Structure formats: C-alpha cells, structure tokens
Amino acid sequence: MEQYEYFCAISKHLYSELENVALVSYAYSLNGIDNSELEQRKAELLHKIEEHLNGLEMAIFEKENKL
C-alpha cells in the first residue's frame, strides 16, 4: 500500500506542475511572449509522467505475478 501512496503522491505533483506550466505557457503565448522554455519544460514533464506511469505498470504487474 505504501508503494501505491507513493505513486499517487508523485503523480499528483507531476500533473500539478504540468498544469501550472501549461497555464503560464498559454498565457505567455496569448501575450506574444516567448514561451519556448516553458514548452520544453512541458515536454520534460510529459516524459517524466510517462516514465512514472511505466514504473507503476511494472509494479502492478510484479505484484499481480506474486499473487
């Protein structure tokens, strides 16, 4: 159960950060401000989320195979 809570906490943090970066990036683009660094950060966060979800899938798979 601790592992599940850990994955949930990390997921919440990553998605929250992604949401914040996306909102600021959108606001920048509306105002004609260069948002390329924010777009890069969004891509990095999406990659981290993908890796995180892959780790969760592996943990679930391992747990199911132990039962």
Scan for tokens 């390329």, then name that residue.
36
Q: How many domains does the chain have?
A: 1
Measure the CA–CA gap between 53 and 40, rounded to whole angstroms: 20
3-state secondary structure of 34: coil
Q: What is the pLDDT of residue 20?
A: 98
Q: What is the pLDDT of residues 1-24, one digit of tens each?
A: 677 788 889 999 999 999 999 999
Angle, helices 36-66 vs 2-30, to 10°: value is 160
Q: What is the pLDDT of residues 38-62, one digit of tens each?
A: 999 999 999 999 999 998 888 888 8
Residue 35 in contact with residue 29, Cβ under 8 Å?
Answer: yes
Q: What is the pLDDT of residue 66?
A: 77
Tell me: pLDDT of 67 over 70.
no
Measure the CA–CA gap between 21 and 40, rounded to whole angstroms: 10
3-state secondary structure of 65: helix
Q: What is the pLDDT of residue 34?
A: 98
Q: What residues make up the domain containing 10? A: 2-66
